[in-house]
Structure 1
Amino acid sequence: MEIDLISLVTLVWNRRKDVFKITFVFAFLGIVTALISPKEFSATSTFIPQAEESPSSGGALGGLASLAGVNLGSINGGSEISPVLYPKIVSSINFQKALLDAKIRVNGYDSTMTYQEYYNQVHSPGIFDMIKKYTIGLPGIFIKKLKGEPEDLVIQEEDGIIRVSQEEYSHCNRIASQLKIAPNEKEGIVMVSFTMPEPLMAAEMVKFAVDLLQEEIIRFKIKNAKEQLRFTEGQFLEKKKEFEDAQDKLAYFKERNQNLNSEYANNQLDRLQTNYNFNFEVYSELAKQVEQAKLQVAKNTPVFSFIQPVTIPLEKSNLRGSTVLIIFLMIGFSFSIAYIIGTEFLRRRHSK
């Protein structure tokens, strides 16, 4: 089926008034949308997580210790959280609950208030939010009323049980849509952004989120270091006892066989001496590992190296009014062409 472009252009030109009318309607809708759409500002921060180099696991003594049943490599490794897991941390309910207490400054108010207080007392939902709530979200409202959901939600966590109210749960859902974290494994950077109705609030929230994430990483590292210290001290005490036993056996044998010069006695002495040297080297290495583990617990260094610190955004993150208008004009013009072609096709079909 061939398309006659000349006839198509002629048809559109003859019905150009319809094109103007439909495009004008969409342009009006674009202006209204641009005027009533809420303002959104996104503040961002980009950083590089500092990855500690694993200290030597004992060199040649590592193999020696492994023969004794001690894995020296496991003592120092595994103390870092991969940036890939950062989104899991910020999406956890306890992290989001902590964000509810973030202090922010609001235009027109002298004192600061928390994120939760702002959305409970100051922020009023926009027209779009109201339309969305009572159109798309209306079935959900009815379902909640029929189900009679409890006032509090109980969420099982690894370290205990967290109780979340329905109000807090709705705030956490909003935070999940406002807070974005994007780790880039290839470049080794992490970008965190937060969207709020005012630029200063967006900057304060993203800074609070980054600081909170840093605290979580440090807490995890200290927890790991303490566990490593307990493990190393346990291995140290065990090998210390074995070393002291080998030391006592060697001393006892030398004392009982001072004047003996037989091959059997020399062979026994060599065995005891070798066992003593072996336990002494493992014992000495574990003593060093205990001191390293103690230093690791006391270590307190910055976790993030910032490439882009938090700055107050100057422009809206959502579409500009002019961009919205252009989009609606394009949609209106395309719709008018489709409408003219469709109505002409139906007219010709009915006339046959």
Structure 2
Amino acid sequence: MSEAGNQNHSDGPADPPPGNGAPPTGPQGYGPPREDEVSLLDILLVLARHKTLIVRTVLVFTLLGVTYALLASEKYTSNARVVREAQSEGGGLPGGLPGGALSGLGISLGGGASGLTPAAYPDVLQSREVRLAVVRDTFRFPDAERPMTYVNYANRPSGMLSTILKYTLWLPWTLKGMLGDAISDTSVTAGRTDTGEPVVPSEEENSALKSISGKVSASVNEETGLMTISVTASGPRLAASLANSFLRHFSKRVREIRTEKVRERLQFVEGRFEEAEQELENAEERLAQFLERNQNPTTATLQFRRDRLQRQVSFKEQLYSELQSQLTQTRLDLQRRQPVVTVVEEPVPPMSRASPERTLIVFFSFLLGGFLGTGLAFVAFLVRARKEEPEQKKKVDEIRKAFSPDIYWNKLKKRIAGTGPE
């Protein structure tokens, strides 16, 4: 046997030469991929086989996006900017006298702190008192024939299209609103009247308060100290009108809160001033009557009574003078505290709508349909492969088992019982 024969016999069969129908193998070969590899051609093949499903899913979601973009009501946002002024609280008597100068006379004027800081202004804007005052105002709505209050507009009968959308596309939000109405308390007060009685909103006003609460927002720029009030509505003029109403009632409410203590002090001083004025008149009347009956008192008793009446008149005059000065000072203090909010930018009708952004809605609906259609295509491929090919069935079962929650649940139970791995 020749050396070449021995060489071939020891090395085993040689690799088949190229060109006999078998592709070369090895790191540089172009043979078929291994079973655990997925090539780009396989992915494209799955997409090609289920192109109809993908196209239909994209068309359905795009149609839904176009429908929503066309049916969604247009929203306009009007902005106003105000400066939140932090004013110092003052007190005391005129002329630099301490606040306790009249304490010996039974008068307590109290402090001047209002309990309101400028950082609380956004909460004041969203308060029930401000919103209740706004919903009671009259506005001209784009879809209404005549001006009406926001309460009447919010409680008007819904149209056919609104009713259909309410119980179809907006059904989750409708159920959420019904649940909120069922558990909400309708007896919450919204401030007090001038006589001190609580203001309880009606059922219609409560509905309007919930409707308008999502239309107004406030943001504060800590660097510039400006507060921006944004109001969104279905029309540009309506948005500006609502913003003006919010701004007006917000400023009024802030003035009421900041001047509450001063107004209480003014009311107290006015009451004591009227009492002191009446007491002074009575003391002067008693002294005048005594002098008329005793024009030239000679006895010690008459002189003592005259001196006592004169001291009473002098005391009442001093008290009257101090209270009159305090009344004037309190009125000036109340007037000085009035302008606590300065409007920097008045609300005007916006030139362009804030929503809906129809192009973005259609674009994202198209993308969502594409992603979902691709996912459905691979799911359909796996289901079909699981039924037809045993090897593919094993792979699908292994994937399902790997992501099954039972595995993690069993591990958790073992760890709780102390038998699982640490």
Fold shared, TM-score > 0.5 on shorter chain? yes
TM-score by length of 1: 0.66
Deviation (angstroms), 1:26: 1.0
Say which is worse superposed, 104-113 or 90-99, in terms of deviation: 104-113
1:6 aligns with 2:40: yes
1:192 aligns with 2:229: yes
Give the whole-Å Cα distance in 2 for the aligned partners of 1:330 and 1:134.
Answer: 25
Match of 1:154 in 2: 187
Retained in 2: the 8 A contact 1:229–1:294?
yes
Deviation (angstroms), 1:195: 1.9
Evaluate the alpha carbon distance shift between residue 287 and residue 51 of structure 1 in structure 2; reply closer, same or farther with a 3 A threshold.
farther
The correspondence of residues 265-304 of structure 1 with structure 2, limited to 5 A, is: 292-299=329-336, 301-304=338-341
Secondary structure in 2 aligned to 1:89? Answer: helix
Match of 2:352 in 1: 315
What amino acid is aligned across from residue 364 of structure 2 in structure 1? Answer: I
What amino acid is aligned across from residue 121 of structure 2 in structure 1? Answer: Y
TM-score by length of 2: 0.56
The correspondence of residues 115-126 of structure 1 with structure 2, limited to 5 A, is: 115-121=150-156, 124=159, 126=162
Match of 1:176 in 2: 213
Q: Which of the pair has more CA radius of gyration?
A: 2
How much identity, in percent, do the aligned residues show? 19
What amino acid is aligned across from residue 32 of structure 1 in structure 2? Answer: T
- RMSD of equivalent CA atoms: 4.3
1:32 aligns with 2:32: no
Match of 1:16 in 2: 51
Name the structure, 1 or 2, with higher relative contact order (CA <8 Å, separation 6+).
Answer: 1
Deviation (angstroms), 1:157: 6.0
Evaluate the alpha carbon distance shift between residue 122 and residue 314 of structure 1 in structure 2; reply closer, same or farther with a 3 A threshold.
farther
Match of 2:300 in 1: none
Retained in 2: the 8 A contact 1:12–1:337?
no
The correspondence of residues 46-61 of structure 1 with structure 2, limited to 5 A, is: 46-53=81-88
Secondary structure in 1 aligned to 2:362? Answer: helix
The correspondence of residues 1-352 of structure 1 with structure 2, limited to 5 A, is: 4=38, 6-7=40-41, 9-11=43-45, 13-14=47-48, 15-53=50-88, 75=111, 78-79=113-114, 81-107=116-142, 112-121=147-156, 124=159, 126=162, 127-131=164-168, 137-138=174-175, 153-156=186-189, 159=192, 160-227=197-264, 292-299=329-336, 301-350=338-387, 351-352=389-390
Retained in 2: the 8 A contact 1:37–1:128?
no
Retained in 1: the 8 A contact 2:82–2:227?
yes
Secondary structure in 2 aligned to 1:35? Answer: helix
Retained in 2: the 8 A contact 1:156–1:162?
yes
Unaligned runs of 5+ in 1: 235-285
The CA deviation string for residues 18-42 of structure 1, in whole angstroms up to 9 with x for no partner, is 3222111111111111111122222
Deviation (angstroms), 1:228: 5.0
Evaluate the alpha carbon distance shift between residue 112 and residue 9 of structure 1 in structure 2; reply closer, same or farther with a 3 A threshold.
same
Unaligned runs of 5+ in 2: 1-35, 104-109, 272-322, 391-422
User: Hey, which of these two has a bigger chunk of strand by percent?
Assistant: 1
Give the whole-Å Cα distance in 2 for the aligned partners of 1:142 and 1:292.
Answer: 53
Give the whole-Å Cα distance in 2 for the aligned partners of 1:8 and 1:308.
Answer: 62
What amino acid is aligned across from residue 175 of structure 1 in structure 2? Answer: I
The CA deviation string for residues 285-313 of structure 1, in whole angstroms up to 9 with x for no partner, is x9998865442113365332333320112
Deviation (angstroms), 1:132: 5.5
Evaluate the alpha carbon distance shift between residue 154 and residue 11 of structure 1 in structure 2; reply closer, same or farther with a 3 A threshold.
same
Give the whole-Å Cα distance in 1 for the aligned partners of 2:88 and 2:179.
Answer: 56
Retained in 1: the 8 A contact 2:218–2:228?
yes
The CA deviation string for residues 52-77 of structure 1, in whole angstroms up to 9 with x for no partner, is 2456999xx99x989xx9xxxx845x
